[in-house]
Structure 1
Amino acid sequence: MTRSAPLILMAILSLCAATAAIAASAAEPAQRLQRASGLWKVTPATSPFSWEICVDHERDRLIDDDLWSDFEQECTIESQHRDGDSYVFQSSCPGARLAGSFNGDLNKAYTLTADTTMELNGKSEVQRMALTGEFQGACPAGLAPGAKKMRSGMVMKSIYSKR
Structure 2
Amino acid sequence: MAAHAWHYLAVFDTHTEQPLYLGRSKRLASPDQRIVATARYGGCSFPACARPALDCEYHHTTAWAEGGCTDVTNLAPVCGHHHGLADHGWAVHHDEYGRIEWLPPAWLDPHRTPRTNTYHRPIHWYHHPTSADHGGASTAVSARQTPTP
TM-score, structure 2 as length reference? 0.29
TM-score, normalised to structure 1's length? 0.27
Larger Rg: 1
Q: Whose RCO is larger (CA < 8 A, sep 6+)?
A: 1
Task: Considering fraction of residues, name the structure with more strand.
Answer: 1
